[in-house]
Structure 1
Amino acid sequence: MNGGCADEGSRPHLPVMLGEVLARLAPKPGEIHVDGTFGAGGYTGAILETGASVIAIDRDPTAIEAGAALVAASGGRLTLVEGVFGDLDEHVRDLGHDAVDGVVLDIGVSSMQLDRAERGFSFRFDGPLDMRMACDGPSAADIVNGADVSTLHRIFNAYGEEKRAGQVARAIVEARKAAPFETTKQLVKVIETVIWPKAGEIHPATRVFQALRIAVNDELGELVRALGAAERILKPGGRLVVVTFHSLEDRIVKRFLAERSRREAGGSRHAPATVVLAPTFELLMRGHDEAGASEIADNPRARSAKLRAGVRTGAPARAVDPQALGLPHVDLSGRGARR
């Protein structure tokens, strides 16, 4: 089903934890930084103001189109690339650079996408059940209408951590017998027959919509690939800064930086270790940064944000093991979502 990838409009977008991102990334004049999630250009614009150059990536063509004015004002220091950030090292090399000084990633859907009903990301507005960041390929409606009950159950459980995933999956399969799902409102109504709204709690559709969005866009898989790509393209001393918004994303980033910042003994459980792998990153801080109270008051989206960061060492990049990073596995082959 095709939704709408229309003009995103002029509603202001507030970049989350901008001050903290700049402090950890520490861009300088003459450096090259990658903004892997361009969105409305909040981080990119601030990095450009420091005198650094930016290669900004976004899979959403409307974001790329909207960034044209920023490109024109950058004096040649901004290059926009339409693509996925999981391939950020390839994008950088295609532009003639062997390494960069920094990589910043703001994981998840942007508020400009959430606030446009025609994109189908939000349960707050009635619109096409879409959720595709790149505006092509199978949509959320394709998954909801085409996946069997066990696949829907796994999606809602693994990607949304929804306790009633099985009940919601069965309700969806039963409801679509009467008519296929086409809008967000249709899906919300079915979810609310299983999970009743309660005062003071999140909307009943929150976790299901999150799960579908992640499945449609392979968000967690892209995150794992992006972490590996950043490791390959950052020069020694280069900085990786990642802002996440829910536990699944944060767990992956936390495990990646923890694994990469300690010495690892190579080998296997059947043979003694023969090689000690040097750390590829040093942690910039213990734990993570969080948004301050004043920012949360101005921008509620910042409430769940966590920032983690590391500095690249000179050690060779390694292969990334998605399972070791806690990437949930849901087989969506032939069931509507792209992998």
Structure 2
Amino acid sequence: MTRAPRPPRPVPGAPHVPVLLAEVLAALDLSGSALAVDGTFGAGGYTRAMLEADPNVHVIAIDRDPGAIAGGAPLVESAQGRLTLVPGRFGSLDAAVRAEGHAEADAVVLDIGVSSMQIDQPERGFSFRNDGPLDMRMERDGQSAADLVNEADEADLADIIYHYGEERRSRAVARAIIEARRKGRIETTGALAEIVGSVVWADPASGIHPATRTFQGLRIAVNDELGELVQALHAAERILKPGGRLAVVTFHSLEDRIVKQFFSARSGRAAQASRHVPSVAMPTPRSFTAVTKGPVLPSDAEIHRNPRARSAKLRAVERTDTPAPAPLAAIETLAALPERTGRSGGARR
């Protein structure tokens, strides 16, 4: 496990400096006429930095959020033909690259999870800190968090909150939601946070809001974030040329487990199994070699400047010349809710 050096100064004109920016660029090792893929464009921080790394770099950037695509228009213009913005999910990034006329890519970067822009907009419904509609949809389409909270049965809610939110009192939260919605539909982030706070008590030592884990679980379920991550890892494996690099930044243990297990299996290093994570059989031949030895963590200075960076981990690998093997079923299992073993479901407490 490596502690990163002091972070770089912000890129002029960028809304924020993405986490571990210098370390991501070092891991990708861009030079010459490279085609890079930013699977999670967001505010464009990684894309902007990759464009500035070398004048011959071309970037295909993907985002499922229409607001991010619209907000990237000025960067597309300033890039003068070196940036292509594509609306869509990063789980299909290989198809997006081929649709733009490219058979393979030199680099792929993935910054997993919700973006600071989405959290900071109350109307998007990702955060409980400012009251807003209970939405959480990255694409602003399909089932919302309000739909899930008001329509799912108690066992399903408990499973989602426990497995995706890692909330130990998931059953109590689910029961409280069911009881509250008997009185009327739950429509706002503030209302849900209050319901959760009635059964989950704050821990002053951790500084974590009682609703944090419940909101995380619902957001992951609404957007199928872990399923998309699994698809994106396999898509990057298919589109990267031999010697191409894949860098992934994660922000919580569920994401990092999937990335760690995938990288370990594909590079021939069996990850240590635990009671929470099934072991992944070591496949042959190997499609990746490790670039980072364990996760790279943000420096203390970066965490001080950007507290949201505190849980970030960077892992990177390099593509070999081995054809992409079949998808890893064990990795797909990590992204799904476990099958219920009893009438009350798999959730705890």
Q: Same fold (TM over 0.5)?
A: yes
Deviation at 1:318, TM superposition (A): 1.4
Partner of 1:74: 79
Residue 298 of structure 2 is aligned to residue 291 of structure 1? yes
Residues 87 and 136 (structure 1), Cα distance of their counterparts in 2 relative to 1, 3 Å cut:
same
Aligned sequence identity (%): 59
**CA–CA separation in structure 1 for the residues paired with 2:326 and 2:283:** 15
Preserved CA contact (<8 Å) 1:22 1:47? yes
Q: 1:232 to 1:178 in 2, by over 3 A?
A: same
Change (3 A) 1:214 1:322: farther
* 1:12-60: CA deviation from partner (whole Å, max 9, x where unpaired): 3331110110010111131000000000000000000022110000000
Measured in 1, the distance between the counterparts of 2:14 and 2:118 equals: 11
* SS in structure 2 at match of 1:153: helix
Query: What secondary structure sits across from 1:194 in the alignment?
Result: coil
Q: Is the 8 A contact 2:230 2:335 kept in 1?
A: no
Q: Which TM-score applies when normalising by structure 2?
A: 0.87
The alpha-carbon deviation at position 325 of structure 1 amounts to 5.7
> What SS does structure 1 have at the residue aligned with 2:185?
coil
1:85-121 CA-to-partner distances (Å, cap 9, x unmatched) read: 0000000001110000000000000000000000000
2:186 corresponds to 1:217: no
Q: CA–CA distance in 1 between the matches of 2:234 and 2:283?
A: 20
**Equivalent in 192, 199, 203 of residue 194 of structure 1:** 199
Q: What secondary structure is seen at the aligned counterpart in 2 of 1:121?
A: coil
Instruction: Find the counterpart in structure 2 of residue 150 from structure 1.
Output: 155
Partners of 2:14 and 2:31 lie apart in 1 by 30
* Displacement of 1:224: 0.1
* 1:26 counterpart residue number: 29
Residue 45 (structure 2) aligned to one of 42, 47, 54: 42
- Out of 112, 115, 128, the residue aligned to residue 107 of structure 1 is 112
Q: Equivalent residue for 2:308? A: 301
Residues of 2 paired with 1:11 and 1:205: CA distance?
31
Q: Aligned-residue CA RMSD in angstroms? A: 1.8
Per the normalisation by structure 1, the TM-score is 0.89
Q: Equivalent residue of 1:304, what SS?
A: coil
Give the distance between the partners of 1:85 and 1:139, measured in 2 at CA. Answer: 20
Amino acid at match of 2:78: A
1:328 CA drift (Å)? 4.1
Q: Deviation of residue 278 (structure 1)?
A: 1.4
5+ residue gaps, structure 2, are 1-12, 271-281, 340-349
- Secondary structure at the aligned position of 1:118 is classed as helix
Aligned equivalents of 2:181, 2:136: Cα separation in 1:
19
Structure 2 residue identity aligned to 1:252: I
Counting only pairs closer than 5 Å after superposition, residues 1-339 of structure 1 correspond to structure 2 as: 12-50=15-53, 51=55, 52-201=57-206, 202-262=208-268, 277-324=284-331, 327-330=334-337
- The answer as to whether partners of 1:106 and 1:243 remain within 8 angstroms in 2 is yes
Unpaired stretches in structure 1, ≥5 consecutive residues? 1-9, 265-274, 333-339
How many positions carry a matched residue from both structures?
Answer: 313
Q: Which amino acid aligns with 2:255?
A: E
Show CA shifts across 1:192-237 (max 9, x none): 1101223232110000000000000000000000000000000000
Mapped partners of 2:321, 2:253: distance in 1: 30
Q: Distance in 2 between matches of 1:276 and 1:304?
A: 30
Contact 1:263 1:278 in 2 (8 A): no
Check the 8 A contact 2:266/2:283 in 1, yes or no: no
Q: Distance in 1 between matches of 2:238 and 2:14?
A: 36
